[in-house]
Structure 1
Amino acid sequence: MTLPETAPNDVTAGIDWARDDHAACIVNGRGRKVATTTVEHTASGLRELVGFLRRHGVDEVAIERPDGPVIDTLLAAGLSVVVISPNQVKNLRGRYGSAGNKDDRFDAYVLADTLRTDRTRLRPLIPDRDDTVALRRACRARKDLVKHRVAVANQLRAHLRNVFPGAIGLFRDIDSEISLTFLTRFDTQDRADWLTPQRLGGWLTKQGYSGRTDPAVLHARLLDAPRGATGIHATTQAAITASYVTLLLTLVEQIKILSTQIDRQLDAHTDAHIFTSLPKAGRVRAARLLAEIGDCRARFPTPESLTCLAGAAPSTRQSGKHRAVGFRWSCDKQLRDAVVDFAADSRHANPWAADYYNRARARGHDHAHAVRILARAWLHIIWHCWQDNLAYNPETHRALQRVITQQNKAA
């Protein structure tokens, strides 16, 4: 979908989004300011914004972000929305002066005038369906909670290193259910000293511990670790331990709740079969891929358009005889994170992915670069499956079958 050659009614608008208010500017076909306004970020303010645009015959609006209440309001009013990234706006300021200062009203003018002059390069925003947007928000919320859990686990680990070192290496993960349950019951060195291999084994049985490590081995880990704080000092530090443990228990529980919700939303989505069929995609990872790519096929007319937005395609810079290929900084960070996370793990379940990654490493690329190379290859496959609404089928993946054949011959 493209914009018409000339703007309807020969006017375009730009809106600079802010937290508390939004600046709007309207320009005519000659780039002259027709009107400007600033509205508050309230329901009445957004209605006032739509009325302002309608009074001046505006049908197209340029803005810096692709989602949120302002976008929803503009789309609901039947306006065409064009997204121009903040990085582009920063570079475009130089067209109108050398100072390059940030000013909301000036940025609104830059957006409106760019929509007037660069129409052939711009595309109107085509929003995803509501179920895709809801799934994206749930996946991002879960990712944020996981980051918080990791941060709190690191804080707990650092705290225990000073007051109760034996609890750190007792179980594999400090934020696992059994580890947090242990710290709830044995929060100090004094309480842990009561344990014997038999007592620890009995307590683990009551907790339904499913680990394969013998209680005697776990008890030996407690004894081998440096002694922690004891007495009154240990009692005062136990309150800090309890705070971290309580916070981690809450985060773990909320992550489980969100994971269950994501699972239900994924089952109800019409594109679920495409992404769940990918190797090592699982449920949450498949949901993230689906949510970040979206459901609007027109947004990515070619595989290259998807790989560039995902940051999996390198950025080439050339001047005269000098040519440099480097990391693509400007991209959708959320999409890149989802694709790279999937690609990195796919090599453990797919021989073609493993071979692709290993050949990249053999050429001298580090792990991160090799994973991005693999991610670019996967995105071409995902794009074709997505466009054709087909699940990934290893039997029809010819490159995979060639690798399997070569491995069988070698064996």
Structure 2
Amino acid sequence: MKSASNTLPEEPLNDVTAGIDWARDDHAVSVVDRRGREIARTMVEHTAAGLRDLITFLARHGVGEVAIERPDGPVIDTLLGAALTVVVISPNQVKNLRGRYGSAGNKDDRFDAFVLADTLRTDRARLRRLEPDTADTIALRRACRARKDLVSHRVAVANQLRSHLRNVFPGAVGMFADLDSTISLAFLGRFTTQTRADWLTPQRLTDWLTKQGYSGRTDPATLHARLTAAPRGITGTDADTQAHITQALLAVLTTLVAQIKTLSAQIEAQLAAHADAHIFTSLPRSGRVRAARLLAEIGDCRAKFPTPESLACLAGAAPSTRQSGKLRAVTFRWSCDKQLRDAVTDFAGDTRHTNPWAADLYQRARDRGHDHPHAVRILARAWLYVIWHCWQQNVAYNPDRHHALQRVLTAAQNQAA
């Protein structure tokens, strides 16, 4: 656990700073001195040899601090491996900082590298050194984000399959609760057309479901009634032609479901081995995958968030306030870590179903006229304060020590009495 301060010294090493404008194939590098003059610039390729040349170039000019726009990737790993101080300045900040040097607003990689280097020289009091998370956290973050992307693909393919079936075989759409469930995929694999489904009777469907190990939550007679009550699909030669499309989409969807399941198991294993797992798995309705997402997006570097407010702002849970003269506006915070906001709001929105404090806070926000997303963000901000204290103290969430929750429970008990 990192606890050291991530502030920068008053003066940079050797009175020089560097900026790197990251790109896919090559990177622009600029070095400025203490008076803001560019003393060297170069372009390096995004190759192993190019990154070695980058370190050689920086060492030749005595650079100890580098500003860059992104916090991860091979370039960052190379810089940290060379014991250089890395400072991340977001692309939005760089875009606004260009106005310091002219009003044209032109975008040029070499100029952006200079802006990064000069900003590192002039705004040191407001900048913080990059404190990378541990390798376990980085690996968990990549796994969680990969799973999230696969889930998005699964939803898209399921929607595409559903739309296709509504035209060619409507009865298969509403039989089971989820089109991408195991039993639904098995049914579509066996009965791809209306003609094949016509063979089914309530008893035949019962026998087939038994062979599939169906849970039996819905009576087979009810399922057969749903199948026959739906509009009939196409039959004949056209049905066989459309079945190829059904099978293609089904193959993709089946693969996605299987890979999501495999990746979920891997995430659970990585979470169980993580030093901070006890903090996030103790949260209500966190489960395993959701807890892993929260841990991965928040990270394990305590110095990154010295206050709960800094965590809430990065997560986009705190509103943005703009004030000029008598005009004051509190608006949605667009500039934030979108992955972190998604993880936190997903967690917070579900806690209201089981946690009385979360339910009360959410309902009071709705009573004030806020819509559901806004109320969830308000709840997310409150949860982030709780999570931050548990995270900083390295303790699991304990409902008995959550004073706000206990006040709500006591008030409910007094009201019931």
Q: Distance in 2 between matches of 1:6 and 1:35?
A: 19
Q: Which runs of 5+ in 2 are unaligned?
A: 1-5
- Aligned partner of 2:357 in structure 1 is 352
- Aligned partner of 2:26 in structure 1 is 21
Provide Cα deviations, 1:202-248, integer angstroms capped at 9, x if missing partner.
10010001041111111111111111111110001101100111111
- Aligned partner of 1:401 in structure 2 is 406
Structure 1 counterpart SS, 2:260 = helix
- Aligned partner of 1:79 in structure 2 is 84
Alignment: residue pair count: 411
- Aligned partner of 1:287 in structure 2 is 292
Q: Which moved more, 1:205-214 or 1:188-197?
A: 205-214
- Aligned partner of 1:93 in structure 2 is 98
Q: Which runs of 5+ in 1 are unaligned?
A: none
Q: Distance in 1 between matches of 2:134 and 2:305?
A: 16
Structure 2 counterpart SS, 1:128 = coil
- Aligned partner of 2:48 in structure 1 is 43
Structure 2 counterpart SS, 1:162 = helix
- Aligned partner of 1:324 in structure 2 is 329
Structure 1 counterpart SS, 2:143 = helix
- The 5-angstrom pairing of residues 304-383 of structure 1 reads 304-383=309-388
Answer yes or no: is 1:250 the counterpart of 2:255.
yes
Aligned with residue 226 of structure 1, among 221, 226, 231: 231
Q: Distance in 2 between matches of 1:104 and 1:232?
A: 59
Structure 1 counterpart SS, 2:322 = strand
- Aligned partner of 2:273 in structure 1 is 268
Structure 2 counterpart SS, 1:24 = strand
Aligned with residue 131 of structure 1, among 119, 126, 136: 136
Provide Cα deviations, 1:314-358, integer angstroms capped at 9, x if missing partner.
100000000000100011111000000000001111111001101
- Aligned partner of 2:3 in structure 1 is none
Q: Distance in 2 between matches of 1:267 and 1:288?
A: 13
Normalising by the residue count of structure 1, what TM-score does the alignment of the two structures yield? 0.99
Answer yes or no: is 1:144 the counterpart of 2:157.
no
Structure 2 counterpart SS, 1:264 = helix
Q: Distance in 1 between matches of 2:385 and 2:248?
A: 47
Structure 2 counterpart SS, 1:166 = helix
- Aligned partner of 2:204 in structure 1 is 199
Aligned with residue 190 of structure 2, among 185, 193, 198: 185
Provide Cα deviations, 1:176-225, integer angstroms capped at 9, x if missing partner.
11001000000000000110111111100100010411111111111111
Provide Cα deviations, 1:128-151, integer angstroms capped at 9, x if missing partner.
000010000000000000000000
* Aligned AA (1:295): D
- The share of aligned pairs that are identical, in percent, is 78
Q: Distance in 1 between matches of 2:175 and 2:32?
A: 67
Answer yes or no: is 1:171 the counterpart of 2:176.
yes
* Aligned AA (1:75): L
Structure 2 counterpart SS, 1:384 = helix
Structure 2 counterpart SS, 1:154 = helix
Give the CA deviation at 1:397.
Answer: 0.8
Q: Distance in 1 between matches of 2:163 and 2:111?
A: 48
Provide Cα deviations, 1:378-407, integer angstroms capped at 9, x if missing partner.
000000000000100001111111111111
Provide Cα deviations, 1:55-81, integer angstroms capped at 9, x if missing partner.
000000000000000000000000000
* Aligned AA (2:342): D
* Aligned AA (2:235): T
Structure 2 counterpart SS, 1:236 = helix
| Superposition CA RMSD, Å | 0.7
Q: Distance in 1 between matches of 2:315 and 2:241?
A: 49
Provide Cα deviations, 1:243-294, integer angstroms capped at 9, x if missing partner.
1111111111111111111111111111000000000000000000001000
Answer yes or no: is 1:301 the counterpart of 2:306.
yes
- Aligned partner of 1:158 in structure 2 is 163
Give the CA deviation at 1:410.
Answer: 2.1
Structure 1 counterpart SS, 2:28 = strand
Q: Distance in 2 between matches of 1:34 and 1:177?
A: 63
